[in-house]
Structure formats: C-alpha cells, structure tokens
Amino acid sequence: MESIIEIFKDGVWIPTAELRHMEGHRALFDYLPTYQFGDDPVPISLAMPVFGERVGVGENGVPICPAFMFDLVPQGLGRKYLLQELSKADGDGMDIPLAQIGAFNPIGNLRLDTAVRYFDRWREQHADTQVEGFTQEQIVSRHEPFVNHIWLHAMLTAGTTGVQGAAPKFLLTQNQDGLWFADSALEDRLATKHWLVKLPRGKTQADLDVLRIEAIYFAIAKDCGLRTHGECYTSNNMLFIERFDRMVNPAQGKVIRLHQESLLSVAGISGFPGGVSLFTLANTIARYATDPAKELTEFIKRELMNRAMGNTDNHGRNTAMQCLPDGTIQLTPLYDFAPMFMDPEVVARSCRWIRDGLEFDRVEDIIAQTDTTDEVRQHVRGELDGFYDVLSELPVIMKRNELDQSVIERLHYNIEAAKGMLRG
C-alpha cells in the first residue's frame, strides 16, 4: 500500500512524503519534490532532513521503514480494534499496515492520507454517531451515551489508534463551554483544551492504585523541578492529562500541532526494541537539542527520578522531543511517569547506562561517557550537583503530595540508590 504522509503547517495539512510498504518492516520512503522545493519545508523527523540522503534503503539494498513511522503504529486498545475491523491476526508484519489506516489523528503533527480516507469511510458508515458534547460528570460516571459514543461508535474518532501504550487511552477535546468531545469530532476553531484520558491497565486493585498514584507522581515531579505541563488529575479511576502536543490560540480560533517524536525515532531506531542504551538516547538529545546542556540535565534528572520513584518503564518511546513554534528543539514535558514497580505485570527496567558492554551507575561517569563537549559536561555537572538535595527531600515532598505512606516506605532504598548515583 502507498501512503502520502502529511504535515500540519500554518493551519493546513500539506502532502510531504510518500511511503510505500512492501512487507514486514520494509518500506520505501521519499520526500515529494513539490514539498522539497516548496515554501520553507521542514523535516517530518529530526533525523531525516528534507535534502538529506535517500532514506529507506539499507547498506545491503533492503528497504527499511523509517524509524518515525513506528511512533504512528497503533498499540493497545486501538490496535485490537483495527485488527478486529480488518479481521486480521496480529503480528509485527501488521505494524505498518495498521499505521496506514490508523494514523489519521496521532500525537504530533503528522498523518497518513490512507488513514484519513479510512476514517472518512468509517464516519460515513456511522452517520448516526453522537457528536454532541458531554460533561465531565457524564464521563467519569460512565454515562451510558458516553460509553456507547466511545466504545461502540467513536473508537476511531476518539483517536485511540494514535496513542501508544498498554493502558486504554482516549483523546478528548473541550470546547468553550467546557463540554467534552471525542478528538476529531470537534472542529479546531471550537477547541480550547486537548486531553489524554487514561484508564487502568487491568481490573485489580494494584492497577487502580498505579493509575491513581500517577497523578501524584506528576505533582511530585513538578515539585522536584522537572519539566511538566498543564493539569493531571484522577476522577473515578480515570486519569486526565492535558496534552502538550497541541497549542490553542483562542483569539484566532487556531490549533497548533507541535512536532513530536520519540527518542527512538530521533535516534533512527526502528521497531520496538528493548534494552536500548541510555547513552544512545542521551547522545541523541545532545546532537539535536537547541540547548544540549539543559536537555541532558533534564534527561539525567528524569532517570534519577525513575530510579528513586520505581518507574521501571523507561523505554525509548516513553521520552520524546518536540519542536516549539519558535524553533526550539527540546525534550517534551514528562509523561508516563508512574509507580510501575507496583504493576501486577512486573514491568522490567528496559534501558540502562550501558556502553561497550559496561554498565555505569555513577552520574559523574555517565556524564564523562556522554558524547558532547567539555563545556556541556561542566554545565550538566553543576546543575546536577544541587539535585542531591532534591532527592534528599523526596520523602517530605511525597508526604506533602499525599502519596501513600506504604509506597513511601517501599521507595526508601530506591531513593538512597538514586542519591548514591550522585554522591557514590
């Protein structure tokens, strides 16, 4: 199947590149000449300049699907829904075909024309789908019309296919009256806020606790000085997270879709590999960030907090980079920061500071091994030196944010280990 990749720029969708899927994870990619030689073309991936070398063919001549495409692959509930709609069995070979019909409204500023057409056909077949808004009370009470709207009719409209992860998630948008709509069911000119709503991964008490505590972790991270965005709260076992890939200009009735891609994508790593070195991710940040010292400091702080707070789910798609309207390239605000050590499925820590077969555990050594300039290293050292005091205050910060005492006690040795990385 051939797809045209479109980018959202200045309020319109612009055809940017062509992707021709062959089989498995093999595909051919080319920027469109009309885009390359158009007005101020911007890359669809930080790692794929508009006038760079041909992308999509490996050294052995075998086509390779560009890494950014895997950020658009439906996962979780949206993936299951599409497979059911297509009557197809799951497997790695379905990744790109599912993106070609599911990436009509993903996170970020890209979409595929084949997915848009699929959605348009689906919408025509469900002309009776309810499009009026809902109050938050109706949402959290699982008001029957809302449940039907999301689960039976508006799985596609809710944008679930464009959100990765195991937990059920929905993309919702508020209008000026505060009513909630499935994303894509509300015109941009009427939108005021964009949300990601997450449900528990399972039905056990532990699943409910992980979701509830994620909102507390968000507040703790904010108090510790990490980059966060907007609101994050729970209501009746639903987690509401304000999205940071959308900006709204109410005066002009415009929505800005920010470029966003995972660190795996920026690093040029395709598929869904486990065990990617944190040095690979850190070096990617140092290469592309507008302010490498600032972003490396933020990244290492997040890893220290992951260690201290027991967030073992630190794979390369749980951290992303974004481009702001002024051209700044930086890490996105923190997301998927949760007590995954409590998860019933036992989520293992997938990314570690490994280089040349050796694992590093001291921050001083980590900084020294990062591929950047001495000036950047010196700045990062200085910024991280004061973070020891923040980690020392974590128990107090946790209590202030009303984290369960039992969780605080379980994290004691994690916190000490994180402190040891700084002063070990």
Strands (E) located in 125-214: 169-175, 180-182, 191-198
β-strand pairing of 232-234 with 239-242: antiparallel
Evaluate whether 345 touches 374 at the Cβ level (below 8 Å).
no
Residue 55's pLDDT is what? 55
What does the alpha-carbon distance between residue 66 and residue 331 come to, in Å, rounded to a whole number?
Answer: 21
* Domains observed in the chain: 2-199 (no CATH), 259-422 (1.10.1070.20)
β-strand pairing of 191-198 with 169-175: antiparallel
Evaluate whether 267 touches 320 at the Cβ level (below 8 Å).
no
Q: What pLDDT digit, counting tens, does each position of 36-87 carry?
A: 999 889 999 999 999 876 555 555 666 788 999 999 998 877 788 889 888 9
pLDDT class of 391 with cuts at 50, 70, 90: very high
Q: How many CB atoms lie within 10 A of CB 129?
A: 17
Amino acid residing at 322? Q
Cα 419 to chain centroid distance, Å, stands at 28
370 DSSP 8-state letter: S
Highest mean pLDDT of the ranges 77-86, 116-125, 167-176, 311-320: 311-320
Mean pLDDT of 113-135: 81
pTM of the model: 0.93
What does the alpha-carbon distance between residue 294 and residue 376 come to, in Å, rounded to a whole number?
Answer: 9
Supply the Cα-derived Rg of the chain in whole angstroms: 22
